[in-house]
Structure 1
Amino acid sequence: MFVFSNIYCLSLLLWLEERYESIYMRHPGFQKGSQPLLALDNPFPMELPENLFGEKWAFVQLPFSAVREEVSSLDERFVFGAGLDLDLLGIEVDDNTLIPGLAVTSSRAKPLAAWMNGLEVCSVEADTGRGGLILSVGISTRYVYATYKNTPTTTSEAEAWEAAKKACGGLHFLAIHEDLDSDDCVGFWLLLNLPPPPI
């Protein structure tokens, strides 16, 4: 999976995909199935730095209207995090669409959110094979963000979460709370997974 949080990188990626379909595929020398010219490593995930550990986590969902509200209030409430300009990216989501996310709690939630804010958080993905969550930051850094015991129930939950992400076009979020029962976030990041560019 190719992941970017920077709006310009996302725009470039979408532009390359549009150009691939409208120009390259129509070229007389086009060969379907050939290897792409742009290839980025998908490195093995590293151990998470100690300052980034949360104490508990849960798969969650929010209606897109609530997600949009969280993103718009980042500056007003001085909350750590980042949003995406979905209009610029040409992504349309209905207000009632449930967006999958990951809620993380910590007794030191504010310092944790501050540390996370210093990273270019790109995505979170469930690795059902290894029973863990992978946090991607920057263009090629991946961490084992959390682990869980692989059981039919946990595997099913992780697969359902990934399916919900796919149904939303890769849109998902990461929220940091002081308590899982709390509605107030101290950190909120709207994230997007995109397939690799075809060129």
Structure 2
Amino acid sequence: MQTIITKACNELGIKPIPSKRCLSLLLWLEERYETVYTRHPGFQKGSKPLLALDNPFPMELPENLVGEKWAFVQLPFSAVQEEISSLDTNLVFGASLDLDLLGIEIDEKTLIPGLAVASSPWMNGLEVCSIEVDLSRARLLLSVGISGRYIYATYNKTPETSSEAEAWEAAKKDCGGLHFLAIQGDLDGDDCVGFWLLLDLPPPPV
């Protein structure tokens, strides 16, 4: 598919970027699986998916992307929308999602989990897709592009930190996978220099 899409885009003068942020395509594939593939006479339940979208061996994060500090945070969706509006006015870099297109409805008071990082703005060169906690190894994994993963941060594994990490993942699940990454010059400040609205979706079962 990537070869076909790349050829078509090049002919139109469009630069294709392989990315799991093509969420409407992933949701379409999931819908096709439920409404078409499972009803095909040759369908075999339990077959291994053809798409492998995650690198099982996360890479070390390049030095220019390493944050000085980080923290699990939560913001009401109304505050998240304010940060998203800053993207439109070019006050911060990052990326949003078309929640209407994805059919996602969130109440303004709903707390959205996120990660706040004190870092330099080099993150703008990455196609950031999602963040997940590897609870067994006490680390945060950053998914980028179509199959890239970085070890974004680590933490000392204690009952307290494990409980906080589990609560963050549970909050993300409660929001349907919606979460965010906020890049700040200082974690004690309120201003963001970068903001990504992210959605952690399982790969389509095709």
TM normalised by structure 2 equals 0.85
Tell me, in whole angstroms, the C-alpha distance in 1 between the residues paired with 2:180 and 2:148: 18
Which ranges of structure 2 fall in alignment gaps of 5 or more residues?
A: 1-18
Mapped contact 1:43–1:141 kept (Cα < 8 A): no
**Number of aligned residue pairs:** 188
Deviation at 1:77, TM superposition (A): 4.9
What residue identity is the alignment partner of 1:177?
Answer: Q
Indicate conservation of the 8 Å contact 1:5/1:191, yes or no.
no
Runs of 4 or more consecutive aligned structure 1 residues displaced over 3 Å after TM superposition: none
Amino acid at match of 2:153: A
CA shift for structure 1 position 43: 3.1
Q: Provide the C-alpha distance between the structure 1 equivalents of 2:30 and 2:41, rounded to a whole number of angstroms.
A: 18
Q: 1:5, 1:192 within 8 Å by CA — same for their partners in 2?
A: no
Higher relative contact order (CA 8 A, sep 6+): 1
Give, in whole Å, the separation in 2 of the partners of 1:58 and 1:38. Answer: 33
Deviation at 1:30, TM superposition (A): 2.9
- What is the TM-score when the length of structure 1 is the normalising length? 0.88
Alignment match, 2:61: 48
Tell me the CA shift for residue 136 of structure 1. Answer: 1.4
Q: Which of 124, 127, 130 is the matching residue for 2:134?
A: 127
SS at match of 1:96: coil
Contact 1:84 1:190 survives alignment (8 Å): yes
The one of 107, 122, 127 equivalent to 1:94 is 107
Amino acid at match of 2:26: L
SS at match of 1:18: helix
Match of 1:71 in 2: 84
- SS class of match (2:87): coil
Unmatched tracts of structure 1, length 5 or more? 107-111
Other structure's SS at 2:136 match:
coil
Inter-CA distance 62–80: structure 2 relative to 1 (3 Å threshold): same
Aligned partners of 2:131 and 2:155: how far apart in 1? 15
Candidates 148, 151, 156, aligned match of 1:149:
156
**SS of 1:73's equivalent?**
helix
Return the offset for 1:5. Answer: 5.1
Distance in 2 (CA, whole Å) between partners of 1:96 and 1:5 is 28
Q: Deviations over 1:144-185 (max 9, x none)?
A: 111110001101111111111111111110001122221111
The 5 A counterparts of 1:1-199 are: 4=19, 6=21, 9-106=22-119, 112-113=120-121, 115-199=122-206
